[in-house]
Structure 1
Amino acid sequence: MAQKLQQQLREVGSKLETPPTTKDALVKLLKQAAMCLSEVDQSPSAAMLESMQPFSNAIAKPELLKHQDKDVKLLVATCVCEITRITAPEAPYSDDVLKDIFHLIVSTFSGLGDTSGPSFGRRVVILETLARYRSCVVMLDLECYDLVNEMFSTFFAVASDDHSENVLTSMQTIMVVLLEESEDVREDLLLVVLSNLGRNKNDINMAARKLAMNVIEHCAGKLEPGIKQFLISSMSGDGRPSDNQIEYHEVIYDIYCCAPQILLGVIPYLTGELLTDQLDTRLKAVKLVGDLFALPGSAISEAFQPIFSEFLKRLTDRVAGVRLSVLEHVKSCLLSNPSRPEASQIISALCDRLLDYDENVRKQVVAVVCDVACQALNSIPVENVKLVAERLRDKSLLVKKYTMERLAEIYRLYCSTGSDGSTNPNEFNWIPGKILRCFYDKDFRSDTIESVLCGSLFPTEFSTKAIVKHWVQVFSGFDKVEIKALEKILEQKQRGFPLGLQVTTRDAEVSVSQADVSEW
């Protein structure tokens, strides 16, 4: 078998000494050569290397390495790539020839974007060979830095979700090898990688972004100094004009997702952005930090605790827009993981803002606490929900009405889930009484309170019997003020009152005189 292969390689090499003049004949000859070379093992016998020599010399001629026909170029690239594989780790050509070879090989990668093209499979073979045998390292020895940049850019440009895992993995392997083998990562190459980060960039696809993040994760130690320098320079305003094309907040977000340890030296500068007098920068920093800590499954490490604490302090920011932005993000933090270790710290900071001087902020605090409670009733301690209930006495009617609606929603959810063991019996039975007390608030119309008690307090699917059962339970806990409020409502609705409820305060019992209580 080996002798036959040697003979074929000699014949192909002999014919290539004077290349065929027609394209079809040349393509046929190169295909035969590529097939033979693919069957030769790495580091073959001296006899095999000797039989390859005529072909190796012929294929490296400028008229073939720089051929203009795309089909010929691809086949020549295939052959020389196989030759570098076979002879590795020894270089089969002079430096000048190797430079031409790698220029040719890199030029074939732009075609990887056409996954359905007839030449796609051959291009993938070249890619996988370069990755598997690490022959790309020779590019560093040859100081082909611009070519390395071009190859990185090409990979990011063609990366697609249509690519199979082995294609993307091979691209990643080549980039990781070149970065790890570099003495120092050049700034221009680093910017090629960083420019492909960002959740909201329209000019990159998610496959390229993921590829860049994987490369950073695998080369975190090598890239850390350069990334830190880039981020600090950008945050201090000392970056070059070209750096401004990269949104550094987006870079920080993606790096936190893949290699957060890189950011340890950047934390003080990001904390500074939370404290800056520049409102736009402060808002961007709040959004970034809030997004980081709201990532599902994200645990805030000890190193990031200082910036998290400063983030929560922005709930007292002098600008209401900043406070509202923090509220939006802490809600995401709690919704993504209600039992996170920082939950009590967040909830405490939230409740401190229930007395904010801006009614929109107070309303939003109520919204955040109630949204989280409605996702999981046991995620917000009852004492904190009771603090929210105090907003029923807010000076703003907007806040009062909204608080009443949200408390009714919590009680409705409690009625639906109270029997599943997730909450303690009677844990939220105080809510109807709090709503009844609003009868004495001059800002509320009695029909507003009735509409909540009749239409929002219980699940629509509840039976009459279930509703009555809950009313009996809550009535037994009413104080004199709440009972009096209920009596007043009943007096106003004595004629045609939908529930037909009659309350006697002497023995504090409730009876139902009409059968139809479906409205409650």
Structure 2
Amino acid sequence: MHDTLLPIMKALVSLELLRHANMDVKVSVLSCITEITRLTAPDAPYDDEKMKEVFQLTIAEFENLSHVSSNCYTKVVSILDIVAKVKSCLMMLDLECDALVVEMFQTFSKIISANHPHDVFSSMETIMTMVIDESDNISLDLLSPLLASVRKENETVSPISWKLREKVITNCAVKLQPYLQEAVCSIGVVSDSICPTKVGQAMAGTFKSVEEFDFLPTDEKEDSSNVARTRLKGQSVNVGHWNGWDTAACVSAGCRARK
């Protein structure tokens, strides 16, 4: 079957089609490529460089999910559904497309709304959860938008987006725990600003650990933070959007928030 598809596969990734000026044409091409990815799964249908270009186009076209009445909306929903079902999003981890993963998370959080059917919400939740669960390391660039979502005011400002990120954090609470403890100290988040929901419950252990951190013996304190610190070593985060966040939790725990 793969040999039969080769001429079509080659034609679909030509620069003329991938970079076509007409949006409907690009979405149609991407829809065909996504179907081919479904047929060849779990193997990638193209080499690494072509797959990176395909994923760049995919993330860019996810923006069209915000245009529910557009001609290409149904096709983009289908693409999203296939990416979730065949787990092709995990290929981005293998290809080390970290920036694209962060962009995808940001896009989902930005465009999800009450106008979308549950299937769209569910596919986004599935993709985000899978990516976190299968990641070897969780960067602060990926984690910080998720932490931003648990502020109380965001539940009323963007309730559907808040719900999406709440679900993802809850689904991945165990995986995120060691990273959250370090992120709390790095960014500066107080437990009073966390919504008293499943998100708050999922993070309760983190804040408890931070609050008790200063009372641990020195050796034990170093051991308990080494895992998260090693994973986050060398990473940085733009803290501009954290302005106004009280860092009392970190100060009381003896941690220093990054400037």
**Does TM, normalized by the shorter one, top 0.5?**
yes
Q: Do the aligned partners of residues 261 and 101 (structure 1) sit closer, same or farther apart at CA in structure 2, a change above 3 Å counting?
A: closer
Aligned-residue sequence identity (percent) comes to 34
> How far apart are residue 260 of structure 1 and its match?
1.7
Q: Which 4+ runs in 1 deviate beyond 2 A?
A: 48-51, 195-199, 201-204, 232-235, 247-254, 256-259, 267-272
Report the residue type matching 1:196 in the other structure.
S
Q: CA deviation at 1:50?
A: 2.5
Which residue is 1:252 aligned to? 194
Give, in whole Å, the separation in 1 of the partners of 2:51 and 2:186: 38
Q: How does 1:123-138 map to 2 (within 5 A)?
A: 123-138=76-91
1:296-307 to 2 correspondences below 5 Å:
none
2:89 paired with 1:89 = no
Distance 1:103 1:217, change over 3 A: same
Aligned residue type for 2:81: E
Name the residue aligned to 2:203: 262
1:214 aligns with 2:172: no
1: CA distance, partners of 2:172 / 2:30: 29
> How far did 1:166 drift?
0.7
Aligned residue in 1 for 2:176? 223
Q: Write the letter of the residue equivalent to 2:148.
A: S
Asked whether the equivalents of residues 110 and 158 of structure 1 are also in contact (C-alpha less than 8 Å), the reply is: yes
Match of 2:90, SS state, is helix
Q: In the alignment, what sits opposite 1:175?
A: 128
Listed one character per residue, the Cα deviations across residues 241-290 of structure 1 (whole Å, up to 9, x for unaligned) are xxxxxx64466336x53362432242265589xxxxxxxx79x99xxxxx
When residues 50 and 165 of structure 1 are mapped into structure 2, their CA distance, relative to the original with a 3 A threshold, is same
Give the one of 159, 170, 179 matched to 2:112: 159
- Asked whether 1:64 is paired with 2:5, we answer no
Preserved contact between residue 37 and residue 88 of structure 2 (Cα < 8 Å): yes
Partner residue, 2:142 = 189
Query: Is the contact between residue 125 and residue 164 of structure 2 (CA under 8 Å) also seen in structure 1?
Result: yes
CA deviations on 1:354-391 (whole Å, 9 max, x unpaired) are xxxxxxxxxxxxxxxxxxxxxxxxxxxxxxxxxxxxxx
Residue 122 (structure 1) aligns with: 75
Are the structure 2 counterparts of residues 234 and 139 from structure 1 closer, same or farther at C-alpha, using a change threshold of 3 Å?
Answer: closer
Quote how far apart the aligned CAs of 1:168 are: 0.1
Task: Determine the C-alpha separation between the residues in 2 that align with 1:73 and 1:204.
Answer: 33
The aligned length equals 217
Structure 1 residue 184: Cα displacement:
1.2
Contact 1:217–1:258 under 8 Å retained in 2: yes
Residue 131 of structure 1 aligns to a residue in which SS?
Answer: helix
> How much has 1:169 moved relative to structure 2?
0.4
Q: Equivalences for 1:367-378 in 2 at 5 Å? A: none
Q: Deviations over 1:153-198 (max 9, x none)?
A: 0000001011111110000000011111100111110112222332
> 2-side partners of 1:268 and 1:154: how far apart?
32
Equivalent position SS for 2:42: coil
Q: Is residue 31 of structure 2 the alignment partner of residue 78 of structure 1?
A: yes
**Map of 1:443 onto structure 2:** none
Structure 2 alignment gaps of length 5 or more = 214-245, 250-259
CA distance in 2, matches of 1:248, 1:64: 49
Shift of residue 77, structure 1, vs aligned partner: 0.9
Is residue 228–residue 263 contact of structure 1 (8 Å, CA) maintained in 2?
A: no
Deviation at 1:68, TM superposition (A): 2.3
Residue 266 of structure 1 aligns to a residue whose secondary structure is: helix
**In the alignment, structure 1 residue 54 sits paired with structure 2 residue 7:** yes
Alignment partners' CA distance in 2, 1:144 and 1:172: 19
Q: Secondary structure at the match of 2:141?
A: helix
CA radius of gyration, larger in: 1
* Pair 1:111 & 2:64 matched: yes
Q: Is residue 181–residue 207 contact of structure 2 (8 Å, CA) maintained in 1?
A: yes
Distance between the aligned counterparts of 2:202 and 2:83, measured in 1?
Answer: 30
CA distance in 1, matches of 2:156, 2:18: 33
Q: 1:133 to 1:179 in 2, by over 3 A?
A: same
Q: Deviations over 1:301-331 (max 9, x none)?
A: xxxxxxxxxxxxxxxxxxxxxxxxxxxxxxx
Q: Distance in 2 between matches of 1:202 and 1:177?
A: 24
**For the residues of structure 1 that align with 2:128 and 2:114, how far apart are their CA atoms?**
19
Seen in structure 2, the aligned counterparts of structure 1 residues 265 and 193 have a Cα distance that, compared at 3 Å, is closer
Q: Which has the higher contact order (CA 8 A, sep 6+)?
A: 2
Conservation of the 8 A alpha-carbon contact between 2:129 and 2:172: yes
Give yes or no for contact 2:112–2:161 (8 Å, CA) kept in 1. yes
Conservation of the 8 A alpha-carbon contact between 2:152 and 2:193: no
Partner of 1:465: none
Q: Is the 8 A contact 1:194 1:251 kept in 2?
A: no
